[in-house]
Amino acid sequence: MSRRLNTMLAELSMRPGLRMIRQEGLRELFKAEIDRMNELMEDLFVAAKGTGNHLNPANLEADVINGWAYRLLEKFGTAMDLSFDLEGDGYKFLRMQCVPDEFIPMIAEVYEQERLGARSHYFEKPLKEEMEEIGLKTDRLNLERARTEIFRAKADVLLNTGPRYQLIQDHSEIFLETEARQVSPAPALVESSTSADAGKATTATAPDVSDQPVDLQDEHAADGYPALLPVNDFLELFEIYKRNKAREWKAGTAKDVRVAVRMFQDVLVFNNVEHTGGIRQAHIAAFRDLLSLLPKNYGQSSRLRTLPFTVLKGIGERMLEEADDDETAKVGLEAQTIRKHMGAVDGFRDFLAARGHQIARFEMKGLRPAKKRAFEIASLTPKPGPDKTEAMFRMPFFSGCQSDKRMDEPGPVTIHNSLYYMPMFLVYLGMRRAEVAGLMIDEVFDTPTGPAVEIKANDIRSLKNKQSGRMLPIPAEVLRLGFLAYVEEIRSLGYQALFPELVNPYKKDADPGDRFYKNFNPLFVQNAANGGPSWIRVIHAMRHGHADTLKQNGVSPVLIEDIQGRDGMSETAVRYTNPAGLPLLKENLSKYPVVTAHLEPKPLRLLGFVRAGKPAYWFRKN
Domain boundaries, the chain: 12-184, 216-292+333-369, 378-611
**Residue of 354 and 38 predicted with greater confidence:** 354
For residues 559 and 570, is the Cβ–Cβ distance under 8 A?
A: no
pTM beyond 0.85, yes or no: no
* 378-611 CATH choice from 1.10.3230, 2.60.120, 2.40.70, 1.10.443: 1.10.443
Per-residue model confidence as pLDDT tens digits over 360-412:
988 888 888 877 555 455 555 689 999 999 999 999 999 999 988 889 899 99
CA nearest to 123, candidates 425, 487, 574, 479? 574
Q: Which helix (H) or strand (E) holds 112?
A: helix 104-118
What is residue 587's predicted lDDT score, i.e. its pLDDT? 92
Q: In what order do the strands lie in the sheet with 444-445?
A: 444-445, 452-455, 470-473
Cα distance between residue 27 and residue 134, in whole Å: 10
Cα separation, 360 vs 487, in Å, equals 56
Task: Please give the pLDDT value at position 574.
Answer: 47
pLDDT of residue 301 exceeding 70, the answer is: no
Q: Could you report how far apart the first and last alpha carbons of the chain are, in Å?
A: 61
Distances (CA, A) of 163 to 41, 99, 182, 358, 513: 11, 20, 16, 30, 46
- The CATH architecture annotation of domain 216-292+333-369 reads Orthogonal Bundle (1.10)
Cβ–Cβ < 8 Å for 612, 403: no
pLDDT 10s digits, 165-198: 655 544 444 443 344 334 333 333 333 333 333 3
